[in-house]
Amino acid sequence: MKSTPPSSPPIRRGRTRTVLPGFGLSAAITSLMIVGLVIIPLAVLILRAASLGPAGFLAAAWTPRARAAYAVSLGASLAAAIISSLLGLLVAWVLVRLEFPGRRILDALVDVPLALPTAVAGLVYSTLYVEKGWLGQVLVPMGIRGAYSRLGIVLVLVFVSLPFAIRVVQPVIESLDKDTEEAARLLGASKSQTFLRVVLPGILPAVVTGFALALARALGEYGSVVFISGNMPFKTEIAPVLIVSRLEEFAYAEATAIAVVLLGMSLSMLIVVNVLQQRLARNAQ
């Protein structure tokens, strides 16, 4: 009988072995989805806008009316995102840390703005805040105009973006180690010192993430704003509304040009917020 050399087990190269299922397939589906749902539409948008040429692009996207619309969009969205992230921190804190009857109902209500057609929210808000509305008849004589004003835009943007700010912060507050707060108190820290020095650094990255999501949500919002803002050019017209009015004039290329500018603004703001968030997270870990 011939002696055969001892066979060594075949070595597999080029592939990390893992017991976790479906890495190859899920990676394929993920890239397909991202390409199909995000990259191709965005590419078409940019190509369409590019068909105008540089001068035509500027003429379409950088008119005084468009610039005013960007300012309203950005200003109202920033204001709404700031309010939402602060309010969201508060609501999340209350939902996690306070025991009170109806807490679970309140917790469920947080998601309602996500499920409700935002146009409905816009309609309800404008009904409430117009001069003869339930709230408006009190507020308008006091000089607070909640409908057909920039304030109204901010109001509905807070409504649509608040759930994001709450839901991002909530699990982080839940995971906070109460021992550290007790330790701070035992070391002599006051309540506010404990919050500012011990609690806040831990949840700030989540608050910033919540701000970013709220901002992104607010910048893209159309349905509710169109009903409450009155859509007055140079005053209460936001960029998405301007896009739609361009579309109604069959000026497709102009509409896409405005959309590209809006897209660029949102992207750059999200990048800034992301970098900030990562710095904070590194500091907090």
Partner 1 sequence: MSIRVDGVSKSFGAFKALDNVSLDVPQGTLLALLGPSGSGKTTLLRIIAGLEWPDQGRIEEDGTDITDRHARQREVGFVFQHYALFRHMSVFENIAFGMRVRKAPQAEVKARVDELLHLVRLDNLGSRKPAQLSGGQRQRVALARALAIRPRILLLDEPFGALDAKVRVELRQWLRRLHDEIGMTTVFVTHDQEEAFELADDVVVMNEGHVEQRGKPDEVFDKPATPFVMDFLGNVNVYHGRVENGLAFWHGVPIDYPDYPHAQARAARVYLRPHELDIARAPAGGGPSAGPEGTSLPATVLRQTRTGPITRITCQPSQGGSEFHVDLPSAAARELGLQPGEAVSITPRHVRVFLPDPEYVI
Which residues are at the interface with partner 1 (CB under 8 A)? 177, 179-180, 182-190, 193, 197-198, 201-202, 283-285
Tell me, letter by letter, the H, E, C secondary structure of 64-110: HHHHHHHHHHHHHHHHHHHHHHHHHHHHHHHHHHCCCCCHHHHHHHC
Single out the residue of 238, 219, 217, 216 nearest to residue 227, CA to CA.
238
CB of 203 to partner 1, least distance (A): 11
Amino acid at 125: Y
Nearer to partner 1, 97 or 235 (CB): 97
Task: Provide CB contacts within 8 A for 69, sequence distance 6+.
Answer: 233, 237, 238, 239, 241, 242, 258
Q: How far is CA 193 from CA 59, 179, 184, 201, 220, in A?
A: 54, 15, 8, 12, 38
Residue 182 half-sphere exposure, CB side, CA atoms within 13 Å?
A: 3
CA distance 254 to 271: 26
Closest approach, Cβ 202 to partner 1, in A, equals 7
CA dist list (Å): 103 to 106, 108, 160, 171 = 5, 9, 21, 16
CB of 282 to partner 1, least distance (A): 10
Closest CA to 62 of 230, 219, 242, 216: 242
* Of residues 179 and 248, the one with the C-beta less far from partner 1: 179
Measured CA to CA, the distance from residue 44 to residue 38 in angstroms comes to 10
Kindly tell me which of 174 and 182 has the beta carbon lying closer to partner 1.
Answer: 182
- Residues 226, 248: contact at Cβ < 8 Å? no
Cα(103)–Cα(187) distance, integer angstroms: 32
Name the minimum Å distance from CB 197 to partner 1. Answer: 8
Nearest approach, Cβ of residue 277 and partner 1 (Å)? 15
28 vs 183, beta carbon nearer partner 1: 183
Query: Closest distance between partner 1 and the C-beta of residue 200, in Å?
Result: 10
Q: Which is nearer to partner 1, 111 or 177 (CB)?
A: 177
Nearer to partner 1, 121 or 203 (CB): 203
Measured from the CB atom, the residue of 195 and 222 that comes closer to partner 1 is: 195
Q: Minimum distance between the CB of residue 179 and partner 1, rounded to whole angstroms? A: 4
